[in-house]
Every structure is written in C-alpha cells, then in structure tokens.
Amino acid sequence: MAHTIENKKPLLNRVRRMQGQLGSLEKSLEEGGECGAVLQQIAAIRGAVNGLMNEVLEGHLRTHLVPANGGGPEELEDLVRVIRSYMK
C-alpha cells in the first residue's frame, strides 16, 4: 500500500498515541478507576481508532480504488464524503 508508506510517520504517531491511551485505560482499570472516567477513556480510544481508520481508508480510496476504476475528482469527493458521514 503506497499511501501507508508515504504517510507512515503520521500514521505511526496516531498508533503510538492510541498505545498511550490504552496504557492509561489499563492502569485506570487496574487501580479501580471511576466508571465515568473509564468510559471516557474508552470513547477517546474508539475515536482515535476511527480517525486512523478514516485516514487509511481515504488514502486507499484516493490511491487505489477510484483511479483504477476511472472515477474523477467529483466522484471521489462524493465517495469520501459518504464514508466520512458513515464512520462518525
């Protein structure tokens, strides 16, 4: 996947932030953290995973799918907009 190689640094930064969030969640659970705080951490992790998924998926669409199928910029933007809306 060329787009993940080209964007490797920001993608890895996202993954490393998620690792930090997961470590914090694990610590909170081990120490008996408050339910509300645990839920908030889980929601933040889910948001981070969704953001990573959106970024990789959009790169995949822009690099592999739309150009290979002869789609133009307008079709691509329509598809990206629909997927972003779905992923929220």
Could you report the per-residue pLDDT of 22-65, keeping only the tens digit for each? Answer: 999 999 999 999 999 999 999 999 999 999 988 888 888 777 77
pTM: 0.75
Above 80 in pLDDT, residue 88? no
Residues in Cβ contact with 49 at an 8 Å cutoff, skipping those fewer than 6 apart: 18
Domain map of the chain by residue range? 2-87
- As a CATH number, domain 2-87 is 1.20.58.1000
d(CA 58, CA 3): 10
